[in-house]
Amino acid sequence: MVGDLQNNPGRSLFVRLTGPTSGPGARGKWTDSATSQFGDLLDIIRERTGITRFPDLLAEARVHLGRPQPVLPDGNPSRSRKSPSGTPAAASRLFAASLPLAGSLAATYLRSRGITQAVPSAALRFHPKCWHRDEGQTRPVPRPAMIAAVTDGAGVLQGVHRTWLAPDGQDKAHVEIPRRAMGHLLGNAVRLSPCDSVLVLGEGIETMLSIREAAPSLPVWAALSSSHLGAVILPAGVQRLYIARDRDPAGARATERLTARASKDGLQVMVLEPQLGDFNDDLRAHGVEALRQHLAEQIGPEDLHRLPI
């Protein structure tokens, strides 16, 4: 029992544990008595992750519940079949069809966000014609996009994150939903640099690349959202975890969840707080030197050598 879908304190939102299997008062459904909202697990996932396509919601729900993805029955073996959209196989196919980031429109986009350091090609790529469809559109439209690999602890690609771009690369595409993820996201992350005994973990790709811009020697990963931040599976060997939080209520709650879990596992946990909304806001507003100084005031003395002098 909580206050709302954002997990704020309260008692107005509850899940029915008894009742009929369908219809009014069905068990397993949630109701918010304060707002008259109601729904099921898929509605919660849609609200917390931003996923909108029904197949992608089902795939994420199966991961959340620990259920295997369905095995489709064999059809006509003579006909070639594509993997269903939203699966790791479909994500792998999209990533393989993408191009290197260097010199691409995606690199132009990152420069517009103040990010000039070279990014490992294993993490980010570019697709010149990645299909995009907003809610209510009947046909998808090909648009340029930055493609990020979401990988598991073994380095196996489990999903991708897409950021659609404006034609000149100076901003995100001017569409209703310029970002979407597909595949198995829960527990996984965009590994922007190799991890050692120290890891900096935060939400957005641009946010974490901003920290890397100021401190290239700090290993950084992006969990993609506050709801996924608290669920990232931390690799063995990490002794010190920095949580690069966003300055909003969702970021605060995710930081609390991750801090509790990592501390229970024996990790030293330290929180990095931006001056503005996130660290990319700081980078663009104040510049890389100011961001580096702000980080130096927050990281442990044993990691100061990782900051450029």
The residue extents of the domains of the chain are 1-39, 88-183, 190-306
Q: Which residue has the higher pLDDT, 255 or 72?
A: 255
Say how many C-beta atoms besides its own lie within 10 A of residue 43's C-beta.
Answer: 15
Task: Give the pLDDT confidence score for residue 74 in this predicted structure.
Answer: 40
pLDDT (average), residues 139-154: 94
More confident residue, 134 or 61: 134
| Per-residue pLDDT, 86 | 75
**Closest to 176 in 3D by CA, of 138, 226, 206, 132:** 132
* Between residues 211 and 59, the one the model is more confident about: 211
Q: What is the pTM of this model?
A: 0.74
pLDDT at 98 over 90: yes
Query: Which pLDDT value is given to residue 120?
Result: 66
**Among residues of the chain, what percentage have pLDDT more than 70?**
77
- Who has greater pLDDT, 287 or 83? 287
Q: What is the mean pLDDT of residues 90-117?
A: 94
* Fold for the domain defined by 190-306: Dna Topoisomerase Vi A Subunit; Chain: A, domain 2 (3.40.1360)
Is 197's pLDDT higher than 80? yes
In this prediction, residues 216-230 reach a mean pLDDT of 94
Lowest mean pLDDT among 43-57, 193-207, 251-265, 280-294: 43-57
Q: State the average pLDDT over residues 296-309.
A: 92
Confidence of residue 14 (pLDDT cuts 50, 70, 90): confident
pLDDT digits (tens, 9 = 90+) for 43-89: 777 666 556 566 666 666 665 665 544 544 444 444 444 545 578 99
- Reply yes or no on whether the pLDDT at 167 is more than 90: yes
Note the pLDDT of residue 73. Answer: 42
